[in-house]
Amino acid sequence: MKKRIVLVSLALIAVSALMAAPIRVGLVTDVGGIDDKSFNQGTWEGVKVFGKEQGLKEGEGIKYLQSTADADYIPNLSTFADEQLDLIIAPGFLFNEAMLTVAKQYPDQKLMIIDSVVQDKDGKMVPNVANAVFAANEGSFLAGVAAGLKAKADGKKIVGFVGGMKFPLIENFEVGYDQGVKAVLPGATILSDYTGSFTDAGIGQAMAAKQFGAGAYIIFQVAGGSGNGVIQEAKARSAKKDIRWAIGVDKDQYNDGIYAGTQSAILTSMMKRVDVAAHDVAVMTMNGKFPGGQVLTFDLKSKGVGLPEKNPNLSAAIVKAIADYTAQIVSGKLKVDSRQ
């Protein structure tokens, strides 16, 4: 069965929430934890916005369970299902098998997976699971444009990419980034490494140290908690006047890069609006429009991916160039490569 693709607008779902009763929403984190400054945290922020809109108390109307190991996924999802929460959300492909198992055990439970698609062994969509995916390659192209133009302006030609685990979902960021860099800096050298983990900041920092040591000026990190090590290395070097940059991922990580008072080592961030995905599906569920068995695609056109509105470390010329490329992608004039 082919996946049903639904393009989702960033705007609030156009159904009056005033006519619906508030629902209870739960988030189960992966091993990165609720404050990973990335995927889990961003998703929880979307749930909190929904909770605030509906007057729900944290710990009651909205709540989360943290996973410390993969083995926690099924028990944590099941705990919320036993509590009969109206919607249970889990971020990331690591939940695929656990969510499929729980979806079958609790066929009336509404579930949502972020950044992945849950299908049964026959490749069929699961009717009680909503699936949110993101056109990460499109947003990463813009990150590449930012990196390439910043490097060019400062007389540099080497940039880098540090991913977590090497598989198509993460490689999709890399191909978009590479295309964006080369669009504005054709002679660039792009270094690439994968940490093999989304939770080891030490490995991330070691990878960054290696790339910076090889001349990389800017590194785009797509490695979850491991990526925090990339940011730390950029901060440490910049604090010693060896200016280096990191590009954040999933959420605006500008504040995570602050050093020496108010300066930040974050050039920009490629945002996956996981907060919007979580919030919008909660609203849809509350209004009786839970998109079970569907795939919701959050892309550049719907503002589901992209760079932050404010980018203090980008010049006006670079911001304009990014806006121009954004328009080309949204119009279909420019097609961004994809690994998926």
Hey, where are the domains in the chain? Answer: 5-134+273-298, 136-250+309-331
What is the pLDDT, as a whole number, of residue 38? 74
Q: Where are the beta strands (DSSP E) in the chain?
A: 5-7, 25-28, 62-65, 87-91, 111-114, 129-134, 158-163, 189-194, 218-222, 245-250, 258-259, 263-264, 266-272, 295-298, 305-306
Residue 18 in this model has a pLDDT that exceeds 50:
no
Average pLDDT over residues 49-64: 96
**169 vs 149: CA distance, rounded Å:** 26
Looking at per-residue pLDDT, the higher value among 309 and 21 belongs to 309
**187 vs 179: CA distance, rounded Å:** 12
Looking at per-residue pLDDT, the higher value among 288 and 5 belongs to 288
Assign 22 a pLDDT band (cuts: 50, 70, 90). confident
What is the pLDDT, as a whole number, of residue 2? 41
Q: What is the biggest distance separating any 2 CA atoms in the chain, rounded to whole angstroms? A: 59
Kindly indicate whether the domain formed by 136-250+309-331 is annotated with CATH number 3.30.300.180.
no
Question: Tens digits of per-residue pLDDT, 191-225?
Answer: 999 999 988 999 999 999 999 999 999 999 999 88
Residue 3 in this model has a pLDDT that exceeds 50:
no
**54 vs 48: CA distance, rounded Å:** 10
Average pLDDT over residues 12-40: 76
What is the pLDDT, as a whole number, of residue 194? 98
Residue 76 in this model has a pLDDT that exceeds 60:
yes
Residue 30 in this model has a pLDDT that exceeds 60:
yes
Question: Tens digits of per-residue pLDDT, 253-311?
Answer: 999 999 998 999 999 999 999 999 999 999 999 999 999 999 999 999 988 999 999 99
Contact between 109 and 103 under an 8 Å Cβ cutoff? The reply is yes
Residue 11 in this model has a pLDDT that exceeds 70:
no
Residue 250 in this model has a pLDDT that exceeds 90:
no
Residue 15 in this model has a pLDDT that exceeds 60:
no
Are β-strands 25-28 and 305-306 bridged in parallel, bridged antiparallel, or unpaired? unpaired
Question: Helix, strand or coil for residue 41?
Answer: helix
Q: What is the mean pLDDT of the chain?
A: 93
Residue 138 in this model has a pLDDT that exceeds 60:
yes
Query: 14-30 b/e with 16+ CB inside 10 Å = b?
Result: eeebeeeebbbbbbbbb
Name the CATH architecture for the domain at 5-134+273-298. Answer: 3-Layer(aba) Sandwich (3.40)
What is the pLDDT, as a whole number, of residue 19? 52
DSSP one-letter string for 266-280: EEEEEEE-HHHHHHH
Looking at per-residue pLDDT, the higher value among 105 and 92 belongs to 105
Residue 157 in this model has a pLDDT that exceeds 90:
yes
**87 vs 106: CA distance, rounded Å:** 12
CA 132 to chain centre: 11
Contact between 129 and 111 under an 8 Å Cβ cutoff? The reply is yes
**138 vs 39: CA distance, rounded Å:** 18
Average pLDDT over residues 33-52: 90
CA distances (Å), origin 161, targets 31, 156, 167, 245, 264: 23, 16, 14, 12, 19
pTM exceeds 0.75: yes
Percent of the chain with pLDDT over 70: 94
* Kind and range of the H or E run holding 329: helix 316-331
Same fold across 5-134+273-298 and 136-250+309-331: yes
Q: Identify the DSSP state of 57.
A: P
CA distances (Å), origin 10, targets 33, 141, 209, 230, 275: 26, 20, 37, 30, 10
DSSP one-letter string for 150-207: HHHHTT--EEEEEESS-SHHHHHHHHHHHHHHHHH-TT-EEEEEE-S-SS-HHHHHHH
* Kind and range of the H or E run holding 327: helix 316-331
